[in-house]
């Protein structure tokens, strides 16, 4: 397909010219899910490099990642303790400077590799213990490097390391419950700066390889930030702490949703020139070419729940509907003007048509999950992929939903309707041929982006898939479950990149 758009009149024209207004094909994954026998029980930053080379081989040019920010002991990447810092759990230890001196200390980490799902807290504790020892012996040399001296000058870093150190002193309690008057030592602050330097260096190495191979890395910038975070602790004026964000009651949730994150004080942010948001984008731009702009409708209006109240007792802020579009467009224009990254909006769920119209006017793609794209106000029939607007991204599922296989079994009536719309054969059990046709349809839509979870492609081949399709679920939102955010691919990274059948199938998806 040769769908193109005229980008010259769009506010996001520079970003589109950089990315190119033509079809892009990609994979989406949580980094933690990569299984590498040579790593330490979790996918790591530098595991992305062989994945970049593989994408080049199969004709794909986008790798979408879920957030990589430091979330501390919380495995959810959408509950970060920092909007700027990267999570040390993803460090590729075996590639650290002077690592040849620490081979014996790496051995205990290898036992984390054999589990079916990621043992997040075990891996985190083991890596923390290793990094403490590593820093004690390597920091005196590395702190002399010009790159390190330049890195530690960043404004955001001092507040982050103070927060991390104070949180440890206060037994990981949230900042509003801190009681200890003990001050962090200089060594403790330097340790956290050192670890962030290592993280940034590895992700910049990944970006360098991606640039060389002309592969676009797509990051994920959640709209909200954990109340217990370095950012809220340091910049309390930028947040409205008497409310928690959520969602109003709807057909899917009669009580509404309570997310717990604080709201932004947009007036204070604007008075400060949106410096916090600009800094957040500038840091992300060191690693990514594109970014998923989470819950984009929240920039126009957001459901505010007074603390201690139920979700259904909330209300939208701004309360005046006439302010929704001006507020959202002002913020999005600021983002477009502040970064060369191209945003792709997550506009799923109940989103006013006016918001989607604004996105199109600004040159911001929306998201089309094929099973949810229907004529909801009419006969409920499926919208054909060829009818999607070019400024969009097509996908089969998301990190918060079941995969195609599970949906097909759980909702046979809907699956049958979709099969009919796509002109594919329906059977109670999703056949491999039908699965291939549906995946192919997602790559032949009119959208300019076609990005699916990596497991959707792996499931085409029995030897690359979990026997139970339920094991492919990344997260079940609204529930606190041990299985959430612990998903691992069944095959190893090496098995994925060397599988001839998978390579041929992926190659076929980008053919005209």
Measured CA to CA, the distance from residue 2 to residue 448 in angstroms comes to 9
Q: How many domains does the chain have?
A: 1
Query: Is residue 385, in this structure, part of any structural domain at all?
Result: yes
pLDDT above 60: residue 1? no
Query: Is residue 63, in this structure, part of any structural domain at all?
Result: no
pLDDT, tens digit, 9 for 90 and up, residues 406-417: 999 999 999 999
pLDDT, tens digit, 9 for 90 and up, residues 463-503: 999 999 999 999 998 788 999 999 999 999 999 999 999 99
Q: Is the dihedral of CA 472, 474, 480, 483 positive or negative?
A: positive
Query: Is residue 399, in this structure, part of any structural domain at all?
Result: yes
Q: Which residues neighbour 223 within 8 Å (Cβ) at sequence distance 6 or greater?
A: 293, 294, 295, 296, 298, 299
* Distance (Å) of CA 141 to CA 135, 149, 153, 415, 495: 10, 12, 18, 60, 38
Q: Is the dihedral of CA 422, 424, 429, 432 positive or negative?
A: negative
pLDDT, tens digit, 9 for 90 and up, residues 201-216: 999 999 999 999 999 9
pLDDT above 50: residue 2? no
Query: Is residue 382, in this structure, part of any structural domain at all?
Result: yes
Q: Quick one: pLDDT band at residue 3, thresholds 50, 70, 90?
A: low
Q: Which residues neighbour 293 within 8 Å (Cβ) at sequence distance 6 or greater?
A: 221, 223, 335, 343, 344, 345, 346, 364
Query: Is residue 330, in this structure, part of any structural domain at all?
Result: no
Q: How much of the chain, in percent, has pLDDT values that exceed 90?
A: 91
- Is residue 166 left, alpha or beta, with left meaning phi > 0 and alpha meaning psi from -120 to 50? alpha
Measured CA to CA, the distance from residue 104 to residue 100 in angstroms comes to 9
Domain that holds residue 468: 24-33+365-512
Query: Is residue 477, in this structure, part of any structural domain at all?
Result: yes
pLDDT above 50: residue 26? yes
pLDDT above 80: residue 251? no
Q: N- to C-terminal Cα distance for the chain? A: 6
- Mean of the pLDDT values across residues 26-49? 96
Measured CA to CA, the distance from residue 285 to residue 339 in angstroms comes to 7
pLDDT above 70: residue 141? yes
Please answer whether residues 73 and 88 qualify as being in contact, where contact means their C-beta atoms are separated by less than 8 angstroms: no
In the three-class reduction of DSSP (H, G, I as helix; E, B as strand; rest coil), residue 487 is classed as coil
Query: Is residue 54, in this structure, part of any structural domain at all?
Result: no
**Range of lowest pLDDT (80-94, 100-114, 465-479):** 100-114
Measured CA to CA, the distance from residue 430 to residue 459 in angstroms comes to 11
* Distance (Å) of CA 128 to CA 26, 109, 120, 135, 425: 33, 11, 12, 10, 51
Query: Is residue 223, in this structure, part of any structural domain at all?
Result: no
pLDDT of residue 483: 95
pLDDT above 90: residue 72? yes
Structure tokens at 438: 């549906």
């Amino acid at each position: 397909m040769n769908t193109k758009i005229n980008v010259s009149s769009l506010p996001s024209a520079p970003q589109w010219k950089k990315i190119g207004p033509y079809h892009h094909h990609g994979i989406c994954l949580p980094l933690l899910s990569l299984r590498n026998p040579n790593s330490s029980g979790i996918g790591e930053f530098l595991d992305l490099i062989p994945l970049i080379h593989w994408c080049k081989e199969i004709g794909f040019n986008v790798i979408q990642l879920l957030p990589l920010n430091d979330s501390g002991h919380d495995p959810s990447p959408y509950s970060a303790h920092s909007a700027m810092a990267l999570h040390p759990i993803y460090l590729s230890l075996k590639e650290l400077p002077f690592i040849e001196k620490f081979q014996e200390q790496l051995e205990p980490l290898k036992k984390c590799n054999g589990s079916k799902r990621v043992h997040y807290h075990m891996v985190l504790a083991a890596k923390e213990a290793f990094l403490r020892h590593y820093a004690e012996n390597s920091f005196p040399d590395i702190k002399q490097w010009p790159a390190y001296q330049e890195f530690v000058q960043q404004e955001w870093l001092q507040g982050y390391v103070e927060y991390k150190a104070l949180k440890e002193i206060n037994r990981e309690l949230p900042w509003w419950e801190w009681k200890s008057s003990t001050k962090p030592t200089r060594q403790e602050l330097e340790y956290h700066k050192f670890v962030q330097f290592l993280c940034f260096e590895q992700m910049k190495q990944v970006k360098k390889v991606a640039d060389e191979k002309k592969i676009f890395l797509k990051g994920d910038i959640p709209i909200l930030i954990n109340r217990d975070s370095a950012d809220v602790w340091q910049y309390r004026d930028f947040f409205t702490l008497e409310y928690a964000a959520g969602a109003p009651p709807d057909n899917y949730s009669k009580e509404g949703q309570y997310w717990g994150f604080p709201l932004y004080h947009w007036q204070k942010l604007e008075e400060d020139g949106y410096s916090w948001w600009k800094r957040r984008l500038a840091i992300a731009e060191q690693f990514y070419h594109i970014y998923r702009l989470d819950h984009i409708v929240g920039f126009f209006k957001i459901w505010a729940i007074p603390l201690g109240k139920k979700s259904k007792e909330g209300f939208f802020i701004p309360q005046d509907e006439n302010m929704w579009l001006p507020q959202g467009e002002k913020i999005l224009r600021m983002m477009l003007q502040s970064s060369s990254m191209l945003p792709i909006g997550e506009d799923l769920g109940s989103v006013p048509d006016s918001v989607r119209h604004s996105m199109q006017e600004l040159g911001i793609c929306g998201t089309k999950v094929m099973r949810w794209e229907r004529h909801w106000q009419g006969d409920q029939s499926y919208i054909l992929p060829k009818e999607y607007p070019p400024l969009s991204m097509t996908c089969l599922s998301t990190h918060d939903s079941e995969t195609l296989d599970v949906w097909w079994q759980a909702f046979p009536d809907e699956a049958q309707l979709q099969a009919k719309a796509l002109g594919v054969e329906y059977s109670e059990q999703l056949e491999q041929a039908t699965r291939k046709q549906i995946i192919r349809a997602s790559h032949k839509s009119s959208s300019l982006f076609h990005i699916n979870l990596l497991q959707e492609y792996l499931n085409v081949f029995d030897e690359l898939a979990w026997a139970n399709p339920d094991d492919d679920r990344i997260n079940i939102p609204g529930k606190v479950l041990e299985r959430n955010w612990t998903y691992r691919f069944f095959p190893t990274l090496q098995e994925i990149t060397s599988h001839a059948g998978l390579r041929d199938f992926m190659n076929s998806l980008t053919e005209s």
